[in-house]
């Protein structure tokens, strides 16, 4: 598959056209940002880890009945994906209180949720991705009710599968963010990435953080944490 013009350079990935109008190539970078781009840095090898891990998760999720954009891993950093129009929502699922939820609700980090919590944020960097609810989503015509029901159903299925799968690898899935898109025929599929950049992973025994919080909070050992997740999941 020929890589054509670059369409977009984001904070963590670049997106390229290909000679197939229904396919894109995403290229994972080592660049890291936090706090809506205010903190910038680089995590050596992160692009390779995130590419591999995200593809691994998406392949497993396809088997679980969640359609994804994954087509083929091309090399260490690049993957062929189905082109979608991204639904401008960050869909967050939480099992344990952490991060912004802990702050907002005064729940200490580590407090288990009785049920998984779904939150939606409107994907708009200038506004700082504000949290919105189903009414805003309908009122702003971000997607239809049917599409949102599909998105919520897939998000909970992703959560249930990953929780179980990661438990076996001694990783607690605290929370994560996913994105969905519409293919040319309007089908909703899981897009973007699932990686230590977009999930909170804690070691099941020590509760040590194995994700981007090590970068956000200057905890050190960032590269090692990403490598450890790759090792536990793929044995590499």
13 or 212: whose CB is closer to ligand UDP?
Answer: 212
- Note whether 206 and 197 are within 8 A (CB): no
**Min dist. Cβ of residue 204 to ligand ADP (A):** 28
Give the number of residues written for the chain.
Answer: 236
CA distance 175 to 97: 8
Could you say whether residue 177 binds ligand UDP (CB under 6 A)? yes
Using CB positions, name the residue nearest to ligand ADP: 10
Could you say whether residue 84 binds ligand ADP (CB under 6 A)? yes
CA distances in angstroms from 60 to 50, 63, 68, 135, 161, listed in the order given? 15, 5, 10, 32, 9
Specify the stretch interacting with ligand ADP by CB under 6 A; choose among 9-17, 101-109, 110-118, 156-164: 9-17
In the chain, beta strands by DSSP E: 3-9, 13-18, 23-28, 31-34, 39-42, 70-73, 78-82, 85-86, 89-96, 112-122, 131-132, 171-182, 188-191, 199-203
Residue 81 interface partner, choices ligand UDP, ligand ADP, none, CB cut-off 5-8 Å depending on type: ligand ADP
Using CB positions, name the residue nearest to ligand UDP: 99
Structure tokens at 136: 């805003």
- Note whether 35 and 216 are within 8 A (CB): yes
- For residue 141, what is the enclosing H or E element? none
Specify the stretch interacting with ligand ADP by CB under 6 A; choose among 3-11, 72-80, 103-111, 218-226: 3-11
Structure tokens at 114: 């009785």
Could you say whether residue 200 binds ligand UDP (CB under 6 A)? yes
Residue 93 interface partner, choices ligand ADP, ligand UDP, none, CB cut-off 5-8 Å depending on type: none
Is the dihedral angle over the CA atoms 139, 143, 145, 151 positive or is it negative? negative
User: Within positions 111 to 130, which residues make up the interface with ligand UDP, using CB under 6 A?
Assistant: 129
Could you say whether residue 100 binds ligand UDP (CB under 6 A)? yes
**Min dist. Cβ of residue 95 to ligand UDP (A):** 11
Among 78, 119, 175, 192, binds ligand ADP (CB under 6 A): 192
CA distances in angstroms from 67 to 53, 82, 85, listed in the order given? 17, 11, 15
Residue 175 interface partner, choices ligand UDP, ligand ADP, none, CB cut-off 5-8 Å depending on type: ligand UDP
Residues that bind ligand ADP (CB under 6 A): 8, 10-13, 15, 24, 69, 81-84, 86, 179, 181, 191-192
Q: Which residues bind ligand UDP (CB under 6 A)?
A: 90, 92, 98-101, 129, 175-177, 198-200, 212
């Amino acid at each position: 598959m020929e890589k054509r013009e670059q369409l977009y350079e984001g904070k963590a990935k670049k997106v390229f056209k290909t000679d197939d109008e229904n396919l894109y190539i995403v290229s994972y970078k080592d660049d890291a940002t936090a706090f809506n781009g205010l903190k910038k840095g680089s995590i050596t090898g992160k692009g390779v880890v995130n590419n591999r891990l995200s593809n691994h998760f998406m392949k497993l999720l396809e088997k679980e009945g969640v359609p994804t954009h994954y087509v083929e891993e091309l090399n260490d950093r690049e993957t062929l994906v189905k082109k979608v129009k991204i639904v401008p929502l960050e869909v967050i699922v939480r099992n344990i209180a952490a991060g912004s939820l802990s702050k907002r609700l005064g729940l200490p980090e580590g407090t288990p949720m009785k049920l998984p919590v779904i939150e939606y944020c409107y994907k708009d960097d200038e506004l700082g991705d504000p949290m919105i609810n189903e009414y805003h989503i309908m009122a702003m015509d971000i997607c239809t009710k049917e599409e949102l029901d599909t998105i919520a159903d897939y998000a909970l299925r992703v959560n249930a599968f990953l929780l179980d799968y990661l438990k076996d690898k001694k990783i607690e899935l605290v929370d994560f963010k996913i994105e969905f898109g519409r293919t040319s025929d309007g089908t909703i599929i899981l897009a973007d990435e699932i990686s230590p950049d977009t999930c909170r992973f804690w070691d099941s025994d020590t509760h040590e953080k194995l994700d981007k919080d090590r970068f956000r909070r200057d905890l050190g050992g960032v590269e090692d944490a990403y490598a450890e997740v790759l090792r536990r999941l793929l044995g590499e």
